[in-house]
Amino acid sequence: VIVRLSAPTQERADRIAAVLAPVGLRIRARALALPALPRPAASVAAAARRRALLAVEGAGGVVVLEDEALVVPALGGQPGQASSSFADGAASADGVVPEGTAQGAGAPREQAPAHERNVARLLLLMAGVPLHGRAAVLLTHVVAAVPRRVLFEAPAECHGWLLDEPRGAGPGYDAIFVAQAVPDRSLAELAPHARSRATGEGRALDDLLIWASRGGAL
Amino acid sequence: VIVVDGGSGTGKSTLVDALRALGYEARERGLPSEAASEGMPEAGAALPEGEAYVILDAPEEVSRARLMESGKLLSGNWHTHEALAMARLRFKEVARALGVPVLDARRSQGEVLSAVLELLDIELGPLRVGLPGGDTFEAIAGILRTAGYPVDEVAGPAGTHAAPGLELRALPPRSLPRLVSLGLLDAAFCGYESLVDSGYDGVVQVLAHLPLEPVRLWAAAASPELLSSPPPRPLVIATPWPLVAGRWASGRHLAHVCVETFGPAGAFAPALADLVVDRAEVIASCPLVALEEVMAGKTCLFARGRAVHHQFGTRIRAACSALLAGQLTPLRVIAREGPQRRPWAFSPARGRATRQREWKHSAHPGSWSLAAVASAASSRRASPSWASRSRPSPATTRSPVC
């Protein structure tokens, strides 16, 4: 069985590969870009399922995909499914466009990496909200699919809150998200295995290993 | 559902009848027929959840012979040699495009049935069903009997119980959602609050809510102003259900840290926690102010994979309806409420207005009060250990919702 991986970062794809390695599955490709959806799905989990089905359609074999989304209830659930492109829709959505980045005010918007622009926009929208009202939830969904069929899925749900300025450097919203399991550090300040445990991703990958070791991908 | 598709005279009806006789839900015609007549679905579209497809294929002569045997007119539009040949070609194209297996239907009925079951990886073994051990086991066994699954209780609550077509296994309730999600069990019973707290509620499908073990979870604190004027730091919430409490708190925008108590949380506040989320009975027995209902739930049956459309779920639902209609009175059947409220689910489809309506509703639950619920629940419970405890007086329970 040929397995292709799709995850937000190369490091996360490598971790999935490490989980599947003992099972003896042959990993063909890592970190395929997460496919964009033509329109929003009903939920973050449904979006992950559709992305996996889209990813496997052209690739064949089995695709294991890890998707992640940040939900901020104070913003009505944003960024949600648009987590990876939150800053792109800024002008049309609410007119709040971060001109600088989280690290360098005044820098041209185009020069900053996408995740920094996303963080900057989120911080602008949350400006002035006191700590007790800055709840946020990081949703992770691991999906394995073959063409037109989802074989396996495992959810992870991490409740925490948003800092008012970035701490550490990391992908996504890691620099401003604090998981309640490790309340004194941002996710970006955690070692990869500690981050995985704090966000619940570790349990989802445990589930993936159990499923795969029982021949689920065969 | 097993969907059997293909051209006329290939034996779809015969196969569907055979599958139904084995206890599987099966039907004729579905997406392949639609695709053959109306075109392929859009790229990235999934086959409907819980449906398995197979397309039967037979030469035109075989199909016409079968149609004639069943008394069909061979001169009909769809039964001519040319029409059958065209349909055969189209179904083969659809099968390639959708990845649906094609079976040679020239073989005997038994051979085709065996091939389908093998192809779809359907085990003829019993449905693997998890049951919570303890007191609830007896009550669920009663419902199983009513549904036509008499439980062999020789093994005791910790063993494997035989019932026709089922393999019942008594396990810790909180382990059951994960086991079903992983496919180690086909279906299971447990409290709805435990299912939600597991986080797998979005992966498995709830088939039935049983009239057993109703639970109401409430948030309570020492001060009624905690939610309107929270401290300038994350709230500390003590609860046996951290994910349920977490969803509720995040839904109220409250940054928080949940402390799992592994038992009643009443003693944690106010010294060790700002807020407690626990059963109404526990809240009523503590000197705390009940702030808001977090969720309500009862024992539920949930499943994944082949069990979703198995007749097991239908029969359990019918048994529950019979119980609620008063035809039978098993032990501990005490709930007759309406639909259950889900705690906050993170879906973009649910807007802020919806949430505010829900909060408003839960802050003013109408004609009942927390003390009344706790009192009613305690008086109805058959557990001797509970009955022997002294119940808190409603007058000592300070509740803004009373």
A19 pLDDT tier (thresholds 50, 70, 90): confident
Q: What is the pLDDT of residue B371?
A: 35
Helix axis angle for A10-20 and A201-213, nearest 10°, is 40
Q: What is the pLDDT of residue A147?
A: 76
- Whether residues A183 and B47 touch (CB distance < 8 A) is answered with no
CA nearest A6: which of A79, A89, A65, A92? A65
Mean pLDDT in residue range B176-180: 95
Nearest CA in chain A to B346: A77
CA nearest B381: which of B322, B321, B340, B333? B333
- Whether residues B347 and A137 touch (CB distance < 8 A) is answered with no
A111 pLDDT tier (thresholds 50, 70, 90): low
Highest mean pLDDT among A38-47, B147-156, B387-396: A38-47
- Whether residues B234 and A132 touch (CB distance < 8 A) is answered with yes
Residues of chain A with C-beta less than 8 angstroms from the C-beta of B259: none
Reported in sequence order, the residue ranges of A33-88 that DSSP labels E, i.e. its strands, are 62-71
Measured at the CA of B284, the angle between CA B279 and CA B289, to 5 degrees, comes to 100
The pTM of this model reads: 0.71
Give the residue carrying structure tokens 């995040």. Answer: B250
Q: What is the pLDDT of residue A127?
A: 94
| C-alpha–C-alpha distance, residues B387 and B121, integer Å | 50
The model's pLDDT over B30-63, given as tens digits with 9 standing for 90+, comes to 888 888 887 776 655 667 767 788 999 999 999 9
Residues of chain B with C-beta less than 8 angstroms from the C-beta of A125: none
Q: What is the pLDDT of residue B264?
A: 94
Q: Which amino acid is at B342?
A: R
Q: What is the pLDDT of residue A200?
A: 94
Residues of chain B with C-beta less than 8 angstroms from the C-beta of A208: none
**Considering only residues 306 to 345 of chain B, which have any Cβ-Cβ distance to chain A shorter than 8 Å?**
344-345
The answer, for B398 touching chain A at a CB cutoff of 8 Å, is: no
B215 pLDDT tier (thresholds 50, 70, 90): very high
Which residue among B43, B203, B355 sits closest to A153, beta carbon to beta carbon? B203
Phi, psi at residue B261, to the nearest 5°?
-100, -15
**CA distance to partner chain A, nearest, from residue B115 (Å):** 19
Are B215 and B296 within 8 A, CB to CB?
A: yes
The model's pLDDT over A158-193, given as tens digits with 9 standing for 90+, comes to 999 999 999 998 888 999 999 999 999 999 999 988
A12 pLDDT tier (thresholds 50, 70, 90): confident
Q: With 70 as the cut, is the pLDDT of residue A26 above it? A: yes
A212 pLDDT tier (thresholds 50, 70, 90): confident
| C-alpha–C-alpha distance, residues A38 and A117, integer Å | 23
Mean pLDDT in residue range B380-398: 32
Percent of chain B with pLDDT strictly greater than 90: 32
- Residue with the larger pLDDT of the pair B158 and B223: B223
- Residue with the larger pLDDT of the pair B76 and B223: B223
Which two three-digit tokens encode residue A93? 């959505």
Q: What is the pLDDT of residue B383?
A: 33
B195 pLDDT tier (thresholds 50, 70, 90): very high
Which residue among A53, A54, A73 sits closest to B251, beta carbon to beta carbon? A73
The model's pLDDT over B278-296, given as tens digits with 9 standing for 90+, comes to 999 999 998 999 999 999 9
Task: Determine how many CB atoms are found less than 10 A away from the CB of residue A143.
Answer: 27
What rounded mean pLDDT belongs to chain A?
83
- Whether residues B348 and A80 touch (CB distance < 8 A) is answered with yes
Mean pLDDT check: name the lowest of A135-144, A190-199, B23-32, B225-234: B23-32
User: Would you call B30 helix, strand, or coil by DSSP?
Assistant: coil
Residues of chain A with C-beta less than 8 angstroms from the C-beta of B356: none
**CA distance to partner chain A, nearest, from residue B217 (Å):** 19
Cis peptide bond upstream of A192, omega within 30: no
Residues of chain B with C-beta less than 8 angstroms from the C-beta of A76: 348, 351-352
Highest mean pLDDT among A91-105, B194-208, B347-361: B194-208
The model's pLDDT over B333-385, given as tens digits with 9 standing for 90+, comes to 333 333 334 444 333 333 333 333 333 333 333 222 333 333 333 343 333 22
Highest mean pLDDT among A29-33, A87-91, B383-387: A87-91
The answer, for B48 touching chain A at a CB cutoff of 8 Å, is: no
- Whether residues A132 and B258 touch (CB distance < 8 A) is answered with no
- Whether residues B202 and A183 touch (CB distance < 8 A) is answered with no
| C-alpha–C-alpha distance, residues B81 and B60, integer Å | 6
Nearest CA in chain B to A137: B250
**CA distance to partner chain A, nearest, from residue B236 (Å):** 10
Residues of chain A with C-beta less than 8 angstroms from the C-beta of B304: none
The model's pLDDT over A56-67, given as tens digits with 9 standing for 90+, comes to 877 777 888 899
B98 pLDDT tier (thresholds 50, 70, 90): confident
The answer, for B235 touching chain A at a CB cutoff of 8 Å, is: yes
Percent of chain B with pLDDT strictly greater than 70: 74
The model's pLDDT over B325-343, given as tens digits with 9 standing for 90+, comes to 764 443 333 333 333 344 4
Residues of chain B with C-beta less than 8 angstroms from the C-beta of A146: 99
Q: With 80 as the cut, is the pLDDT of residue A110 above it? A: no
ipTM of the complex: 0.87
Nearest CA in chain B to A210: B182
Q: With 90 as the cut, is the pLDDT of residue A154 above it? A: yes
- Whether residues A135 and B199 touch (CB distance < 8 A) is answered with no
DSSP assignment string, B159-176: SEEEETTEEEEEE-GGGH
Q: How many CB pairs under 8 A join A and B?
A: 127
| C-alpha–C-alpha distance, residues B114 and B201, integer Å | 34
**CA distance to partner chain A, nearest, from residue B81 (Å):** 33
